[in-house]
Chains A and B, each alone.
Chain A
């Protein structure tokens, strides 16, 4: 359990949020052109990093807005929170 600083609502308990997995996976521009391998990469393959990971979160029991987070998955420490569409902070 940890606290998350929602960019819209401020600091709230993690249980108010829903994790949305790895961030910055771009939807293919030409889906019809994709090979099976590329689809597998897009749909299923994940970095699943132990350490600094970029991920999406949704304040599902709050403002219901999506945002991004930089978190150290080895100790659950949050390094940065930023809005959708913004460039990830350089670490």
Chain B
């Protein structure tokens, strides 16, 4: 049993100059065999392991990660959490995650700094207005809080937005989901890792998967840089590298991996207390607790695993930001980075069994997977443990690309693509 984090443990450890905190997770060598192995130690993978152990009593499991946990897209996103998706299947999926977020810090005894500061999506043309109103109605029918704001209400909610009607893309209105917000992305990975480790899950870092061993149509184990590990169930949560793992098993996925960039400014005093996304001009911005503006840019349109994107993408985003927020014109950018996102043709994820028995994929989250971390882990754990999808992720099976029953969230979800 791990010591509980609390104000008392903080005071107690202060007396020993914070040098005696116990390790949040062990650093074990892999065993010869596990009941299940999760490939990928990001938020989604660690959450999957956590719920497998907690809700499905699978304790003899491991998470293998080629680098360090939370070092991929978990640590590279802009931490936005919302559930205002258009289609019923997506609304169910993302709101399931949002509901878990609301109690996650308490459940994990780890402060994930979940802040329901609201997410506002702006409309810049007549079609945006129609789409956003439609989505607001669809959200309400699915029990998701959503309101439509006119230009004055947008200005009132976020006064620094330039609502002048003579700019190139004037603000005609917007939607607001008040339950949406942000969380501390690293803390989510660390909190789930600590919780999973406590229940006996082996978290094995610096362990890259090199091959998947099959016996006919059944998986038998994985080859890794730390040797062969036997297992009956493999859950792959490898984001941009999902296709690479799939190729090892002789599978093809409907994914393209592309660089997605983000950047932060120098830290300043609180200036924007919400998250504002603008699909049409591709600008979204929030402010971190450190005071940095957190800005999400777009994806490049070519396949790349380089974890860096093109300069013109950042330039385009900053142009849009400056028109909407002239107050930021003299801010300096501090850091910029890229992550590799796995994009599905319908911009919806895959949480699914495959044609190979014991091989499961959780991928295709594209540009917006962080918000779903807890729900994704919960539903993927259910799928792996029962060899059947939960009703909330049944629509996100891989066969939808054969049947044609796509969950087309491109442009429909207020997603900035």
Contact = CB atoms under 8 A, between A and B. Distances in A.
B244 A21 contact: no
B402 A48 contact: no
A15 B312 contact: yes
A73 B303 contact: yes
A18 B301 contact: yes
A48 B345 contact: no
A40 to B, nearest CB: 4
A50 B253 CA distance: 14
Contact of B306 (A18, A37, A49, A76): A76
A57 to B, nearest CB: 8
Interface in B311-333: 311-312
A74 to B, nearest CB: 5
A35 B37 CA distance: 34
A36 B253 contact: no
Interface residues on B, range: 20 to 34
Nearest to B242: A48
B403 interface: yes
A21 B312 contact: no
Interface string A41-81: 10111111110010100000000000000010111100000
Contacts of A76: 304, 306
B306 A73 contact: yes
Contacts of A45: 252-254, 401
Contacts of B241: 50
Most chain B CB within 10 A, of A21, A37, A47, A55, is at: A47
B407 to A, nearest CB: 13
A74 B306 contact: yes
B254 A15 contact: no
A48 B306 contact: no
Interface residues of A, number: 26
A90 interface: no
B402 A46 contact: no
Contacts of B301: 18-19
Contact of A44 (B300, B306, B401): B401
B305 A50 contact: yes
B310 interface: yes
A1 B306 contact: no
A19 B253 contact: no
Contacts of A21: 256, 303
B302 A55 contact: yes
Given A40-B402, A73-B305, A76-B304, A47 B243 contact: yes
Contacts of B305: 50, 73-74
A36 B310 CA distance: 37
B38 to A, nearest CB: 21
Nearest to B345: A44
B97 interface: no
B395 interface: no
Given A1-B312, A41-B252, A48 B303 contact: yes
A37 to B, nearest CB: 6
Contact of B402 (A37, A47, A55, A73): A37
B254 A44 contact: yes
Most chain B CB within 10 A, of A40, A43, A55, is at: A40
B297 interface: no
B108 interface: no
Nearest to B403: A36
Interface string A19-33: 101000000000000
Most chain A CB within 10 A, of B255, B301, B302, B402, is at: B302
A24 B18 CA distance: 60
Contacts of A74: 305-306
A73 B304 contact: yes
B257 interface: yes
Interface of A: 1, 14-15, 18-19, 21, 36-37, 39-41, 43-50, 53, 55, 71, 73-76
- The 6 lowest CB-CB distance pairs between A and B, nearest first, are A19-B302, A48-B243, A44-B254, A45-B252, A40-B402, A15-B312
19 contacts: A15-B312, A18-B301, A19-B303, A21-B256, A40-B402, A45-B253, A45-B401, A46-B243, A46-B255, A47-B247, A48-B255, A48-B257, A49-B243, A49-B247, A50-B243, A50-B305, A71-B302, A74-B305, A74-B306
Interface of B: 241, 243-244, 247, 252-257, 300-306, 310-312, 345, 401-404
